[in-house]
Amino acid sequence: MIQIAPCRFIASWTLAAAFALSVAPVWGQTTFSINSLSDNANQTPGNGNCDTGAWGGTTSECTLRAAIEEANETTGAVVIDVSPAIPTNSNGLSNIIVETPFPVISNQVTIAGETHPEFTEDENYKYLVIIGANDISSGSGLFFTTAASGSVVRHIAIGRFNGNGITVGGGSGYTVRDNTVGISWNETQVGGIGNASDGIVVATNSVADSVVLNNVVGNNDGHGITISASSSSVLIAGNVVGLRPPLGSEPTFLPTEWAGNGGDGIHVTPNADNNIIGNSFFGGNVVSNNAGGIRIRADDNVIRANRIGISHPDGVAPSHSESDYGNEGNALTLEGSGNIVGGADEANIIGNAALSGIRIGSTGTTPVAGNDNVIDVNYIGTDPSGADIGQTEGIRVENGTGNLILGATIAFNSNGIDVRSDSSSTLIRRNTIVDNSSNGVRFLSSGNLGTVSFSDANVIGNNNRGVRVSAGAGSVSIRRNYIGTDASGADLGNSTGIQINGSNPVNVGLSGTGNVIGNSNGSGIFLSSNANNVWILGNHIGIHPNGTPIGNGRGISFSGASNGNRIGFSSSANIDPDAWQPGSDAGNIIAHNSDAGVMLTSANDGAVANVVRGNRFFGNNGTAIDLGMTELDPGGGAIGPNEQMNFPDFDAGNTQFDFATGTLNYRYRVQTTPANADYPLVIDFYLADGESAEGLTFIGSESYPDTSAFEFVSGSLSLDPGLASGGYLIATATDASGNTSQFSLDPIFLDTLEDEMFSDRFEAN
């Protein structure tokens, strides 16, 4: 069973992060202040001074390279900040051109760009800019080893390196925040200084309890931010990946301009488990315009409060629309297990992807299963305001088992949820799935839509098809959902409520756990293209449980050689009329539809053995069960749906109700030879809806043996006089193979014996 548990590692890095996010100096630290833009090396590493020896006199030249070299030789933590005397260009920037790779950082170092003389907290400018010269500098811009645990990089711009912009290569407790990686700007334009590989990498060697916060990462040839194998307890939050944000109040800057990365915006490799990608406390990430959005290839990660494939909250760039912000592949890919996506007050907003909003698992030459992931409260294809940011598929479950899709709003996609051929046991609960142009939910594999409780109901409306079960899908359960309506009875009609194709064992409701299906332009339920083995039990079709009429074009209709299906009770069930409660047992309530309640007339002649027993029909514009028969077929040899099973033919003169004894006496026959039906037949008696051929109230059954074929038989049923008074009697016949007839076309008015006695006395007087 899937359980949503709090992440155990949150507390472990929260305290460390609180210290790391502070910009106040720490007493006793060694500080080196950069006062030069050159790339000169330290003259004498290890002497405690950041001095290249280039200047002479009373002022020593301290370059970033020299400061890193001296920091590596220093005992204890080191701060590298920016001197007020550092040179700046006409844009206020201090550009450091790096000719060869910096030394690997092997001591705890804080690189603090906020001491730059032009720095202000309320702007996004990064005035200290570290640039690889002419794209020839190999390796990462900054590389930290395990011995550099606890290091901090903040308020710098870095890019144009042949490796990554920043690489954390081991250890724990790192903070990389408020930087721009692959992006720089001046007062009039944004400049791309993308790195040839990734922007920020939290690499292997058990990196833990680290924070990647509030960075702007774009224009890199690889991924924007990567968490590599064996890294865990990493927080990635508040970053803008693939865009740049507005720059304060500067009127000359376009908001949220493009800066997509060539790989995924955020990429988590296999075995990088137990990380957090966005949350409500530190903020979600904006991940847009990348080759892929967020890709999780590991287990037990948490992805929350992100904006994936949409604009920065500050707005859409002029001459563009929200639809321009999508990632080229999937917005979010899950190729691991036990990941949690979204949650109450921490929903992700996902849209505009070229492929799927969320894709679980993969296929191909090296398929990867995503199992037991929880997709919990997200906006997919829409946002909280109801905007259209749809994509081809909202959620595609490609390969995996036990995945739970819960509490999402999924709209404006082609398919809302697509459960594919290599998936099984997908659980879909409490979602609102509306306004999708093709299917609200499509099953090409087994799955469960809803549960035994309406508290888990999905609301599926205003789609072309609400639910589609395709051929070969396997076992599918559809229970306790609102399809074409909601709990209030609103009109959210789909073109078709549920369409089922092929020989799949599908349960549309089970006894006492049916769906509410209404307002479909076509059929509430459509059994198409050889749909077999479908059970339709306990549903409200065309009527809401609160009594509101929500009629469909047709309640249930068939097309193709669909056979062996069951609507209501089985052909062998003993239905107890005293306990019969459609909607609360196996029987369906089928009412207020514009045409027939159950229509088989468009099915092929091979549509046989479709049982229709124990349902309540009323208010349908057509007949309750329509096999296309307008009269009896003596002998029963006609070819057609349900083998054109003949309905019972009553002897009206010998069918009446005895008010004094509460006994319904009847006499009927079935004009079908044993050669044309599988005897014995079960005859179900109903009181009609008025004078119609619709069975409103089931009152009892009996067996009709082959020895009685074509012969009248007599019998009786006990019946409440309140039900019988002024009522009409009709019946169906179902053979042992499950072929159910239409209702009797000539309802019998139940004249009572009391009426006859009263008439005689009146005349005698």
Residue 724: φ, ψ to 5°:
-75, -30
499 inside domain: no
Q: Tokens standing for 615?
A: 């349902």
Q: pLDDT higher for 653 or 184?
A: 653
Residue 688: φ, ψ to 5°:
-80, 165
% the chain with pLDDT above 90: 80
Q: pLDDT higher for 291 or 761?
A: 291
What pLDDT, on the 0 to 100 scale, is given for residue 752?
A: 53
| C-beta separation of 37 from 82 below 8 A | no
- Res. 24: pLDDT tops 80: no
Query: CA of 425: how far to CAs of 440, 465, 473, 536, in Å?
Result: 18, 21, 11, 20
Bridge-partner residues for 200, per DSSP? 166, 225
Query: CA–CA separation, 422 vs 396, rounded Å?
Result: 11
**Reported confidence tier of residue 57, pLDDT bands at 50, 70, 90:** confident
What pLDDT, on the 0 to 100 scale, is given for residue 259?
A: 86
**Reported confidence tier of residue 68, pLDDT bands at 50, 70, 90:** very high
**Reported confidence tier of residue 725, pLDDT bands at 50, 70, 90:** confident
| C-beta separation of 745 from 697 below 8 A | no
| C-beta separation of 92 from 100 below 8 A | no
Q: Which residue from 349, 382, 474 is spatially nearest to 419, judged by alpha carbons?
A: 474
Q: State pLDDT tens for residues 490-519.
A: 999 999 999 999 998 999 999 999 999 999
**Reported confidence tier of residue 11, pLDDT bands at 50, 70, 90:** very low
What pLDDT, on the 0 to 100 scale, is given for residue 89?
A: 87
Query: CA–CA separation, 237 vs 240, rounded Å?
Result: 9
Query: CA–CA separation, 281 vs 152, rounded Å?
Result: 20
CA 554, distance to chain mean position in Å, is 29
Residue 220: φ, ψ to 5°:
-85, 145
What pLDDT, on the 0 to 100 scale, is given for residue 751?
A: 67
Strand duo 276-277 + 302-303: pairing: parallel
Query: Cα 209–213–215 angle (5° rounding)?
Result: 140
pTM tops 0.95: no
429 inside domain: no
Q: Tokens standing for 148?
A: 């550099």
pLDDT mean over 692-709: 97
**Which sign, positive or negative, has the C-alpha torsion 317, 318, 321, 326?**
negative
562 inside domain: no
Q: State pLDDT tens for residues 337-356.
A: 999 999 999 999 999 999 99
- Res. 126: pLDDT tops 90: no
What pLDDT, on the 0 to 100 scale, is given for residue 167?
A: 97
191 inside domain: yes
Query: CA–CA separation, 438 vs 414, rounded Å?
Result: 5
**Residue partners of 11: CB distance under 8 A and separation at least 6:** none
Q: State pLDDT tens for residues 279-337.
A: 999 999 999 999 999 999 999 999 999 999 999 888 887 778 899 999 999 999 999 99
217 inside domain: yes
Residue 642: φ, ψ to 5°:
50, 30
pLDDT mean over 137-156: 92
pLDDT mean over 474-488: 97
What pLDDT, on the 0 to 100 scale, is given for residue 123?
A: 62
What pLDDT, on the 0 to 100 scale, is given for residue 134?
A: 60
pLDDT mean over 628-655: 95
549 inside domain: no
Query: CA–CA separation, 38 vs 121, rounded Å?
Result: 26
What pLDDT, on the 0 to 100 scale, is given for residue 48?
A: 94
Q: Tokens standing for 672?
A: 């079908």
- Res. 186: pLDDT tops 80: no
Which domain-ending residue is among 281, 298, 328? 328
What pLDDT, on the 0 to 100 scale, is given for residue 570?
A: 97
Structural domains counted in the chain = 2
What pLDDT, on the 0 to 100 scale, is given for residue 750?
A: 85
> 111: domain range?
1-328
- Res. 391: pLDDT tops 50: yes
Q: State pLDDT tens for residues 112-122.
A: 999 999 898 76
| C-beta separation of 297 from 252 below 8 A | no
What pLDDT, on the 0 to 100 scale, is given for residue 124?
A: 62
Q: pLDDT higher for 758 or 16?
A: 16
Query: CA–CA separation, 756 vs 751, rounded Å?
Result: 8
704 inside domain: yes
pLDDT mean over 454-466: 98
Which domain-ending residue is among 328, 349, 371? 328
- Res. 20: pLDDT tops 70: no
Which of 95-99, 137-141, 491-495, 597-601 is predicted with the least confidence, judged by mean pLDDT?
137-141
Which of 12-26, 100-114, 390-404, 560-574 is predicted with the least confidence, judged by mean pLDDT?
12-26
What pLDDT, on the 0 to 100 scale, is given for residue 13?
A: 43
CA 113, distance to chain mean position in Å, is 42
Which of 20-29, 384-393, 583-592, 738-747 is predicted with the least confidence, judged by mean pLDDT?
20-29
- Res. 10: pLDDT tops 70: no
What pLDDT, on the 0 to 100 scale, is given for residue 21?
A: 52
pLDDT mean over 653-664: 92
Query: CA–CA separation, 601 vs 175, rounded Å?
Result: 69
What pLDDT, on the 0 to 100 scale, is given for residue 206?
A: 82
Q: State pLDDT tens for residues 362-384.
A: 998 999 999 999 999 999 999 99
- Res. 27: pLDDT tops 90: no
115 inside domain: yes
Q: What is the CATH number of the domain that holds 706?
A: 2.60.40.10
| C-beta separation of 95 from 125 below 8 A | no
- Res. 755: pLDDT tops 60: no
Q: Tokens standing for 734?
A: 């179902």
Query: CA–CA separation, 324 vs 352, rounded Å?
Result: 8
Query: CA of 310: how far to CAs of 148, 221, 290, 724, in Å?
Result: 36, 21, 11, 64
What pLDDT, on the 0 to 100 scale, is given for residue 267?
A: 98
Which domain-ending residue is among 328, 353, 377? 328
Q: Please, what is the average pLDDT of the chain?
A: 90
Dihedral-angle region of residue 555 (phi above 0 means left; psi in -120 to 50 means alpha; beta otherwise): alpha
